[in-house]
Chain A
Amino acid sequence: MNSTPATTAPPVDTSGNVITRLWRHEESRSVIIQIVTMVVLFALLALAARNVAINLEAIGKEFSFDFLWSTAAYDITFSPFIEYTSRDTHMRAMWVGIGNTLLVAVCGIILASILGFLMGVMRLSKNWLVSRIVYCVIEFTRNVPVLLHILLIHGVIVTTLPPPKQAIPLGEHFFISNRGFFVPAPVFEEGFWLVVMAFIAAIVAIVFFKRWAKKVQDATGKIYPVFWISLGLLVGFTGLMFLLTGMPLSWDFPVLKGFNYKGGMALRPEFLALWLALSYYTASFIAEIVRGGIISVSHGQTEAARALGLRQNRVLQLVVVPQALRVIIPPLASQYLNLTKNSSLAIAIGYMDVVATIGGISLMQTGKEMETMSIVIVIYLIFSLTISAIMNWFNRRMKLVAR
């Protein structure tokens, strides 16, 4: 150790000019690289901005969002949340589009999760035939472009189903036709808000009950049937309020009038096609994720839980599911994101989502490519960031806490 002088400074390289010497030094090299990158990047951005300014001036356009307050002058056939007519503004059309995107994304995520979990579990079935059939379905679905699925379902609904006059009835109040599926619409009467309040109150009560039950269990080891009591609270309390207020909910049934149905709720073919196709396409990916998550929990864990004397449902609830979820959630989040982004394919079948309204017809009518496209991009960035923030929060909660 002592034979080598440990305190010798690294030999200072004095050859070459200042720049070569700076380049040889690691830290200064890193600074140089970064400065050069930033300069090049900003130069490119400035050049692009300058080009945009020149190009816009050359064709006499200006960059402004004023068009958002001018009349849109186009119809949107499907607008379940917002009243909209062609005399409304582009701004309002955009909100209709956002509503429609969110609607199909939320419905799609729910259905895709249910289907995906079902298929994932069936894929793991001990029954060889069931597992093989599901495998074939999954592989075929996920290896075919989602746009093809959407067009196919849309084509099937529009061309092979009968017109409303000969609609296929399912029960008394459900009708299937090529103009969409007609289902009863709920009509909320006076006093329904009390039922909603009761529902919310029940949820709050359940949260507190759960905390209390956990405290009791930690202190004494006594376990309450939390799930059943919660369910009872939710159903019982809400139901009681529903009866007390005199059942303030009725149904508006679809009735055939002339060539189409009046009343009720119409699930239009565009919405149905997009919803179903996105759901089963995404479900085939979720199924594989779920399967991977479940088989990632080693058999020893299940056996150990059994050895502790836990019942089967407790084994699942306390040992298998929490560990599987940890593997499942990150890729599941990205599937949800994919579904939301894929909903932009709506434009292919004329479902009026964000891209089809503001980025489609509004763009065509106003010629404001820059403005409309930046709005679309910002909206999707907000969606994506929100979903990933929610999923990150959920993921943090589920994460393994090392003690």
Chain B
Amino acid sequence: MNDNAATPKQEHEPGTHPNWPAPILTSGPIAWMRDNLFSSPFNVILTLLALWVLWIIIPPIINWVFIEAIWSATDRKDCWAQMSEPEAGACWAFIQSRLSLFIYGFYPEAERWRVNLCFVMLILFLLPILWDKCPGRKYLLWYCIAFPFIAGWLLIGGFGLTPVPTNEFGGIMLTFIIGVTGIFFSLPIGVALALGRISNMPALSTICVIFIEFIRGVPLIALLFVASTMLNYFLPPGTTFDLLMRVLIMVTLFSAAYIAEVVRGGLQAMPRGQYEAADALGLTYWQSARLIILPQALKISIPGIVNTFIGLYKDTTLVIIIGMLDPLGIGRAALADAEWAGLAREVYLFIAVFFFLCCFGMSRYSLYLEKKLHTGH
């Protein structure tokens, strides 16, 4: 703005002018505030209104969650007795007393090391998938393929381990089981469905279209009811089929149909030339899909795929409606306990934060991945 050459007094020899900081009104915190908070009268009002809302909401929440909160107590009355006035703060003692229930459900106490081992293995499973510079990634990926099966064996038992019936599974562990299984199996099935849908074999593509549209037209609850009430009718007489297994199949098929649509979007967004180039190179169908088409199509569809995964992960809560006890189910059951009744806010906040951390993490990771794989301009 202020051109120094125009000032009448030459205070500095040419070339010796010191590097002065930019004027306070064009950069720095004050300028930033002028631009972003107080640029017009309307904006000033908005800012004041927003500050007022924050002032109303934030301090009571912080007060309730941290300052007045009680972390150890024997029951609700004891908890409230320790506060300045009853219900002034959160009673986290409740969550703490039920923490093992929230994590393991009703898994037998003596066998919980198996669940803990699975949690450790889960971290080892996620490591090479999420971190592409992980040492020994090539071998660990083989482990990743084996992981769901090893974990299944560890959790259910059999072959040398004490069998644990699946109706004792619950809590965060159940959420992880359904979430990881659904994500792991729905991606390949979804990709296959997408390829089937755009294939030029009419019979095959019709089957895929009917399957995808059918699943997408029906709420997951209805499918879970189907799994819990009528799926056994379709099986040979005398066979019984574990409820958790049926739920896993339904959840996987459900999210596979959504993945299929996302991947189809990616496949259709690819320029025709890519398909033609692959054909011109003399690649077979599977070679061109594996080497040319899918790597690009999947890259475009990453945001959609991760969104579907997040949706699946949140939908695992629906199993409480057919009587399984995920964290939400455990929380509701715990609230029925007379000693702790009335602490719904604590329970719901705890579960909400758990899901938020998982889902927000996933969406942030997908953003990072998108940026990393972005090769355009």
A-side residues, CB < 8 A to B, are 30, 33-35, 37-38, 41, 48, 51-52, 54-56, 58, 125-130, 133, 139-140, 142-148, 151-152, 155, 159, 341-342, 344-345, 347-348, 355, 359, 363, 369-370, 373, 376-377, 380-381, 383-385
Contacts of A30 in B (CB 8 A): 200-201
Distance of A127 Cα from B344 Cα, bound (Å): 36
**With contacts A143-B356, A148-B352, A348-B320 known, is A129 near B37, CB below 8 A?**
yes
**With contacts A128-B36, A128-B37, A143-B355 known, is A344 near B314, CB below 8 A?**
no
Chain B interface helix/strand/loop/mixed: helix
Q: What residue of chain A has the Cβ atom nearest to residue B358's Cβ?
A: A143
**With contacts A133-B53, A344-B219, A359-B225 known, is A127 near B233, CB below 8 A?**
no
Assess whether B37 is in contact with A127, with CB atoms less than 8 Å apart: yes
**With contacts A41-B207, A348-B320, A377-B218 known, is A34 near B237, CB below 8 A?**
no
Distance of A133 Cα from B50 Cα, bound (Å): 8
Assess whether B221 is in contact with A148, with CB atoms less than 8 Å apart: no
Contacts of B320 in A (CB 8 A): 147, 348
Contacts of A385 in B (CB 8 A): 217
Interface size, B (range): 35 or more
Interface flag for B62 (CB, 8 Å): no
Contacts of A363 in B (CB 8 A): 225, 229
Distance of A357 Cα from B215 Cα, bound (Å): 22
Contacts of B214 in A (CB 8 A): 381
Assess whether B46 is in contact with A147, with CB atoms less than 8 Å apart: no
Q: Sort A-B residue pairs by CB-CB distance and give the 6 closest, nearest first.
A: A384-B217, A128-B36, A143-B359, A341-B219, A34-B203, A145-B314
Distance of A51 Cα from B237 Cα, bound (Å): 7
Interface flag for B222 (CB, 8 Å): yes
Assess whether A381 is in contact with B218, with CB atoms less than 8 Å apart: yes
Assess whether A151 is in contact with B237, with CB atoms less than 8 Å apart: no
Assess whether A380 is in contact with B204, with CB atoms less than 8 Å apart: no
Contacts of B36 in A (CB 8 A): 126-129
Contacts of B232 in A (CB 8 A): 55
Interface flag for B317 (CB, 8 Å): yes
The proximity string for B residues 166-204 relative to A, scoring 1 for CB distances below 8 Å and 0 otherwise, is: 000000000000000000000000000000000011111
Q: What's the count of A-B pairs with C-beta under 8 Å?
A: 144
Assess whether A133 is in contact with B54, with CB atoms less than 8 Å apart: yes
Contacts of A347 in B (CB 8 A): 221, 321
Assess whether B37 is in contact with A145, with CB atoms less than 8 Å apart: no
Q: What residue of chain A has the Cβ atom nearest to residue B217's Cβ?
A: A384
Assess whether A147 is in contact with B51, with CB atoms less than 8 Å apart: no
Contacts of B53 in A (CB 8 A): 133
- With most chain B CB atoms within 10 A of its CB, the pick from A38, A344, A347, A355 is A344
**22 A-B residue pairs with CB within 8 Å:** A33-B201, A37-B204, A37-B207, A54-B237, A55-B232, A127-B50, A128-B36, A130-B46, A133-B53, A143-B356, A147-B318, A344-B222, A355-B221, A363-B225, A363-B229, A369-B229, A369-B230, A369-B233, A370-B230, A381-B217, A384-B218, A385-B217
Interface flag for B348 (CB, 8 Å): yes
Distance of A359 Cα from B233 Cα, bound (Å): 17
B297 → chain A, closest Cβ, in Å?
A: 19
Contacts of A126 in B (CB 8 A): 36, 39, 43
Distance of A48 Cα from B230 Cα, bound (Å): 12
A142 → chain B, closest Cβ, in Å?
A: 8
- Contact partner of B219 (CB less than 8 A), chosen from A33, A152, A355, is A355
Q: State which residues 208-256 of B face A: CB under 8 Å.
A: 214, 216-222, 225-226, 229-230, 232-237
Assess whether A380 is in contact with B217, with CB atoms less than 8 Å apart: yes
- Contact partner of A345 (CB less than 8 A), chosen from B217, B318, B355, is B318
Interface flag for B299 (CB, 8 Å): no
Interface flag for B114 (CB, 8 Å): no
Contacts of A159 in B (CB 8 A): 342, 344
Distance of A143 Cα from B221 Cα, bound (Å): 19
Assess whether A129 is in contact with B51, with CB atoms less than 8 Å apart: yes
Distance of A144 Cα from B219 Cα, bound (Å): 18
Distance of A182 Cα from B67 Cα, bound (Å): 37
Distance of A369 Cα from B227 Cα, bound (Å): 11
Distance of A34 Cα from B214 Cα, bound (Å): 21
Distance of A355 Cα from B322 Cα, bound (Å): 13
Assess whether B54 is in contact with A145, with CB atoms less than 8 Å apart: no
- With most chain A CB atoms within 10 A of its CB, the pick from B222, B236, B342 is B222
Assess whether B332 is in contact with A151, with CB atoms less than 8 Å apart: yes
- With most chain A CB atoms within 10 A of its CB, the pick from B203, B310, B360 is B203
The proximity string for B residues 296-331 relative to A, scoring 1 for CB distances below 8 Å and 0 otherwise, is: 000000000000001000111110110000001000
A343 → chain B, closest Cβ, in Å?
A: 8
- Contact partner of B356 (CB less than 8 A), chosen from A144, A146, A344, is A144
B202 → chain A, closest Cβ, in Å?
A: 7
